[in-house]
A and B are shown apart, each in its own frame.
Chain A
Amino acid sequence: MISTDPVTISDGAPLVVVEGLSRHFRLGGRSSGRIVRAVDDVSLELARGATLGLVGESGSGKSTLARLLLHLDRPTAGRVLFDGTDVFATSSRELRRLRREMQIVFQDPYASLNKRKTVEQIVSFPLLVHERTLTRRERGARVLELLALVGLRPEHAAAYPRQLSGGQCQRVSIARALALNPRLVVLDEAVSAVDVSIQAQILNLLRDLQQRLALTYLFVTHDLAVVRYMAGTIAVMYLGRIVETGPREALFGEPRHPYTHALLASIPPPPGSQPPAEVVLRETAASDTLPPGCRFHPRCPLGERSVCQTVDPPLQPVAAGHSVACHFPQSAESLLAEAGRG
């Protein structure tokens, strides 16, 4: 998927290629337990210098996928290629080198920082690990550089996380992530746990950094409005699968999957505008087992059809760069008409 984001220039080969990635968890006993398919056969690409948005609700597997990309977890199947190198088939030395290139910013600003360390210690930790040749002074200078980059002042270097606000802590996380000049930064719900007014600051910062440092982002979130703002290409996940993916204009202009319609319809409309037509999802009991056929069918307004209950739809293109995993992809109007018909 080539990014259509006007801000960036992608140059051909994608930075990250994910092929058939799966992560299954076995619950219960050794042989008897049920399997939770947190990530199930996911394939996608991240274009250099662009942002791929990964949207989903809880249980969609987006965070698991983000962690798999960074080798923070082992997949059950599939590959992740970073600049051509298979992340899971490398030596530990090579892996260590790879880790410099890809970093992550987590959701909880306070939990992701070691509460016993100062900002200076936290941000210089990656330097201690990888750039042993730096003197203390050089490290200190680099830390100050990084702090300035993320909009913090030198005074903050001596502070502890608990003395900082949530937004400031997230900036520290970002500074730490940038310490080794990575090429990929995964933002796992990085703005979900900060105040609205701070969220705007952090989003601006992230976009600015992307431009300046030619970063590639994987932006994971549950917030559709934010992902639209940040990402040129977006993938919607549901229960471990990508159900729709495409460039921003296509996904928001002409969504096709019933789940995407439902997501868009649930957002309270901007004031003064008409609320989008309601897409009612049926509520089902929480369950670990995946339903047969399309995993969305128990909640889908069209889900009573037999093909939906028996055959799992593959991800198929409906337009250039725009793919949907649905037997009956359609526009919102026709979806409502169909659903009304029963």
Chain B
Amino acid sequence: MLEVRDLVVEITVHRRAPIRPVRGVSFEVRSGQRLGIVGESGSGKSLTALSLMGLLPPRARIASGEVYLRGRELTGLSERELAHVRGGQISTVYQDPMSSLNPLQTVGHQVIEAICAHEDVGRREARDRAIALLRDVGLPEPERRVDDHPHEFSGGMRQRVMIAMAICANPDVLIADEPTTALDVTTQARIMEMLERLVDERRLGVILITHDLGLAAAFCDDIHVMYGGRIVESGRAASVLREPVHPYSEALIESICGLDRDVDRPIAAISGHPPLPNELPSGCPFHPRCGYAHDLCAREAPRPLEVRGHLAECHFPVGGARS
């Protein structure tokens, strides 16, 4: 339903060569599918999401590649047409509900506004729909709370409101960019549950963007791991986590401090830090930090290989199961 092909995002920098935080990303999302895009800072995951919505910051633009939604190409659309697509066909939920909601308007007003922006309904009906939506996202007593202001809600509830606004026009694809990072872990679980239910009920395609591999593995069907502006590994979520093929995925999983970690040993940390778009190494972006790197890795960028059901961009993918 949503197809992204070779997306390249470029940011112009004054008097220097432009930098490319997204360097040829391709993926697709089917209706009802839950896709996870996992990466650390500088991987390009957030910019990818923004470019799908046509919401790139002023100096950034899509340099090449295409985005198709239901067969229709989005990259060449005018701002007006894009505004119609946003919310109506693709919508996004962001990380911080406090700054995304207008503190001066009631929650109901904002949801109604979102509804009316996409559908031609009267106030009465819009209000009824808003209340139904708020109930659907799990807000208790929606008839009463619809007239409350954002500061009267907890963080988790505000995020539910944001989700309600995002799905009100029945989009095909929902992008969730770090939706629970700013929330407490107990609330996080509830929100993800609610999202799961919504996705199944409405056959939404969801792109979950996160730095939390565990979260992605629990929620998503498929995962793409991004590093240095490229997708370095793709596969079924559980499979990528249990038997990663790309050295970065493997190293990342090893370095996660989970509940089952042995407390008596140091963590196998990856040395160095994730590269920023303006300091990308030559060849494979991960090679300076990779335990398996050879000379070839510094010279030549790897092409995607199919290994054990995953797609990975590596000259020397990890063979054998993780011990």
Contacts and interface: CB of A to CB of B under 8 A. Distances in A.
A285 B261 CA distance: 36
5 contacts: A57-B186, A252-B259, A266-B189, A272-B238, A285-B153
B296 interface: no
B217 interface: yes
User: Could you tell me the dominant secondary structure of chain A's interface residues?
Assistant: helix
B261 A197 contact: no
Interface residues on B, range: 35 or more
Interface stretch (B58-66, B120-128, B266-274): B266-274
Contacts of B19: none
Nearest to B41: A195
Contacts of A224: 185, 259
Nearest to A165: B273
B252 A229 contact: no
Nearest to B188: A266
A277 interface: no
Interface of A: 6-7, 57-58, 165-168, 195-201, 203-204, 207-208, 222-226, 228-229, 248, 252, 262-273, 275, 281, 283-286
A262 B186 contact: yes
A197 B252 contact: yes
Interface in B185-234: 185-190, 211-215, 217-219
B142 to A, nearest CB: 13
Given A167-B273, A200-B255, A268-B218, A229 B238 contact: no
A222 B185 CA distance: 8
Nearest to A231: B263
B156 interface: yes
Contact of A195 (B140, B153, B214, B273): B273
A270 B258 contact: yes
Nearest to B140: A283
A226 B260 CA distance: 10
Among B140, B252, B258, chain A packs the most CB atoms within 10 A around the CB of B258
B185 A272 contact: no
A285 B219 CA distance: 26
A57 B211 contact: no
A197 B186 contact: no
Nearest to A272: B242
A185 B41 CA distance: 28
B147 interface: no
Interface in B230-267: 238, 241-242, 251-252, 255-261, 263-264, 266-267
A285 B273 contact: no
B157 interface: yes
B184 interface: yes
Contact of B274 (A197, A204, A207, A229): A197
Contacts of B217: 268, 271
A137 B140 CA distance: 65
B317 interface: no
A199 B157 CA distance: 29
